[in-house]
Amino acid sequence: MKLHYRKLGSGKPLVVLHGVFGSSDNLFTVCRNIAEKGYEVYILDARNHGQSERSEVFNYEVMAEDLDRFLSENGISAPVILGHSMGGKAVLQYSQHYTNFSGLVIVDIAARAYPCHHEHIIRGLQAIDTSTLTSRKEAEDIFSRYVSDAGERQFLLKNLYRTEDGGFDWRINVPVLAENAGEVVSEVSLYNKVEKPLLLMRGGDSPYVSDEDFEYLKTWYPAARLVTIAGANHWVHATRPAEFVEEVTRFLAEQ
């Protein structure tokens, strides 16, 4: 599985994993700001996302394997690894089975299972027939019947792109993501104690991470600490980018 990635800057390595339906584009701006402070930042596209290869298999076990292979193939040693949402769960899965990291940053996600909450998005994506689509406006009109929030629609429709023949296609593997929606919200089992430092960053306006989630995480990651970013929602890096960069660079400097 070849993962597409973007590399920025030079220095201590930071490897970044995005959330479901996203890509390396989503974190590019904050990662560029981090790189400018003297770090070598790798932003990955997960399998079935962005420009990475596609596969019928999609779960946290294979995403952790993909990450391990990427680090090995690119000679990246002891990086700090950051993951947002789905990417955060992939990082937790990785850290339970592999040791090539110096620290972890988990952004607004816990190890526990969550209720399925992407059904409206999946239905909206499936409703857009890219083989007959004539414009982005048409896609927007169709998608608005399923996803009411304009910002959320804009984020998701970034995955729609023009093909060389003038048509449209998705940069996400819609059928596989639909089939495996339950995998995205599934629990990551924690059973190995990890002594390396972990920063759990949550949005103050997000319901994804409770105090109890952090206390449970700390039983397996005793060096973990929690930071709450006031005014941020689940997309901490987008709603409070300056605070996000400040907390990540502070953590990097400590490692």
What's the pLDDT score for residue 151?
A: 85
Find the helix or strand (DSSP H, E) in which 225 lies.
strand 224-229
Q: Is the pLDDT of residue 140 over 90?
A: yes
Q: CATH code at 247?
A: 3.40.50.1820
Q: What is the pLDDT of residues 186-214, one digit of tens each?
A: 999 999 999 999 999 999 999 999 999 99
In Å, what is the CA distance from 228 to each residue of 9, 110, 146?
Answer: 27, 14, 31
Average of pLDDT values for 159-175? 94
Q: Is the pLDDT of residue 150 over 90?
A: no
Contacts of 144 (CB under 8 A, 6+ apart): 153
SS3 19: coil
| Least confident window among 47-51, 133-137, 149-153 | 149-153
Task: Report the sign of the C-alpha dihedral through residues 10, 85, 204, 119, in that order.
Answer: positive
Q: What percent of the chain has pLDDT over 70?
A: 100
210 belongs to the catalytic site = no
In this structure, the answer to whether residues 98 and 134 fall within a common structural domain is no
The range of the structural domain enclosing residue 21 comes to 5-114+185-254
In this structure, the answer to whether residues 148 and 209 fall within a common structural domain is no
Q: What is the pLDDT of residues 86-115, one digit of tens each?
A: 999 999 999 999 999 999 999 999 999 999
CA–CA separation, 6 and 28 (whole Å) = 9
Which residue out of 23, 24, 52, 85 is catalytically annotated? Answer: 85
CA–CA separation, 32 and 25 (whole Å) = 11
Average of pLDDT values for 141-146? 95
Confidence band of 82 (pLDDT split at 50, 70, 90): very high
In this structure, the answer to whether residues 23 and 104 fall within a common structural domain is yes
Average of pLDDT values for 169-178? 96
Average of pLDDT values for 173-196? 97
What's the pLDDT score for residue 149?
A: 86
HSE, side-chain direction, 13 A CA sphere, residue 50:
23
In this structure, the answer to whether residues 156 and 214 fall within a common structural domain is no
**Total domains, the chain:** 2
AA letter at 175: P
Q: Is the pLDDT of residue 161 over 90?
A: yes
Contacts of 53 (CB under 8 A, 6+ apart): 1, 2, 3, 47
In this structure, the answer to whether residues 160 and 174 fall within a common structural domain is yes
In this structure, the answer to whether residues 43 and 142 fall within a common structural domain is no
Q: Is the pLDDT of residue 12 over 90?
A: yes
CA–CA separation, 248 and 38 (whole Å) = 13
What's the pLDDT score for residue 117?
A: 86
Q: How many CB atoms lie within 10 A of CB 242?
A: 10
In this structure, the answer to whether residues 62 and 129 fall within a common structural domain is no
Which of the listed residues 133, 159, 181 is the one where a domain comes to its end?
181
In this structure, the answer to whether residues 105 and 213 fall within a common structural domain is yes
* Residue from 91, 88, 49 nearest 234 by CA: 88
Q: How many CB atoms lie within 10 A of CB 11?
A: 13
In this structure, the answer to whether residues 237 and 136 fall within a common structural domain is no
Q: Where are the beta strands (DSSP E) in 51-112?
A: 80-84, 103-107
Average of pLDDT values for 156-176? 94
Average of pLDDT values for 36-48? 98
In this structure, the answer to whether residues 197 and 165 fall within a common structural domain is no
Q: How many residues does the chain have?
A: 255
In this structure, the answer to whether residues 110 and 213 fall within a common structural domain is yes
In this structure, the answer to whether residues 98 and 34 fall within a common structural domain is yes
189 belongs to the catalytic site = no
Task: Report the sign of the C-alpha dihedral through residues 6, 12, 17, 22, in that order.
Answer: negative
- pTM of this structure: 0.95
CA–CA separation, 182 and 172 (whole Å) = 17
* Residue from 83, 122, 113 nearest 183 by CA: 113
